[in-house]
Amino acid sequence: MEEEVSMEYLLEQVMQKDLGKRLQVGQEIMELILDEEKSPDMERDQTLLDRMVDTVASSWVNSSNFKGDSRYSLIESPVPPHDKEVLPSLIDRLGDAKDQVRDQDQALLLKIMDQAANPQYVWERMMGGFKHKNNRTREGLCLCLISTLNVFGSQSLTLSKIVPHICNLLGDPTSQVRDGAMSCLVEIYRHVGERVRMDLGKK
């Protein structure tokens, strides 16, 4: 019971406006989760886990003040992917105006694919981003797909489901998006060869 009160207190602290304190609390939450003696029932307490992820998603991931370190800490902990809360915000961040934010966001998505859920699972929930209203997000998704292929290989994805979305972006009104889509197709071809040509022929 004492451990749950401790987590409740930390969740309250997550909501404060002071960024430095929020980051410190993120480290404390990670340590609490990873210490089986302090939180032996954490993985079984789905309600508490859900509340923790909801709180972090609403106060950090959706925050205009993006700091990657706190999110890396939590993604590295043994927490389910919670794609409904986290992934939409991370897709939005691929279109952030700052290069650093986009880079950290893509790195975090790759960490999720590596430590929380497999790449195919994540990409099935990200494909709606190819129609995102922000052109920078559409471009960012293409760049993220290239990184996914380079890190995990083509065998990690069902590319036949993704290629049609990439093809649609070849007609995007924004040149950077069209360029990103073309780079995607080149990268896919580099990994799977003639199979992508056959898929394109079918489309």
What are the residue boundaries of the structural domains of the chain, listed by start?
A: 1-38, 80-202
Instruction: State how far the Cα of 164 lies from the Cα of 107, in Å rounded to an integer.
Output: 25
Residue 78 has what pLDDT?
41
77's tokens: 């902990």
Tally helices (H) and strands (E) across the chain.
11, 0
Torsion, CA 32, CA 14, CA 70, CA 26, rounded to 10: -20
Instruction: Answer for the pair 2, 42: CB distance below 8 angstroms, yes or no.
Output: no
Q: What digits encode the pLDDT tens for the residues 77-126?
A: 444 445 566 788 889 989 988 899 899 889 988 988 888 788 999 999 99
Residue 2 has what pLDDT?
44
Q: CATH number of the domain at 80-202, please?
A: 1.25.10.10
Residues of the chain under the 70 pLDDT cut: 1-8, 10-11, 13-85, 196-203
DSSP H or E segment with residue 13: helix 2-14
Instruction: State how far the Cα of 44 lies from the Cα of 79, in Å rounded to an integer.
Output: 11
- The neighbour count for residue 66, using CB atoms within 10 Å, is 18
Residue 6 has what pLDDT?
59
Global pTM reads: 0.67
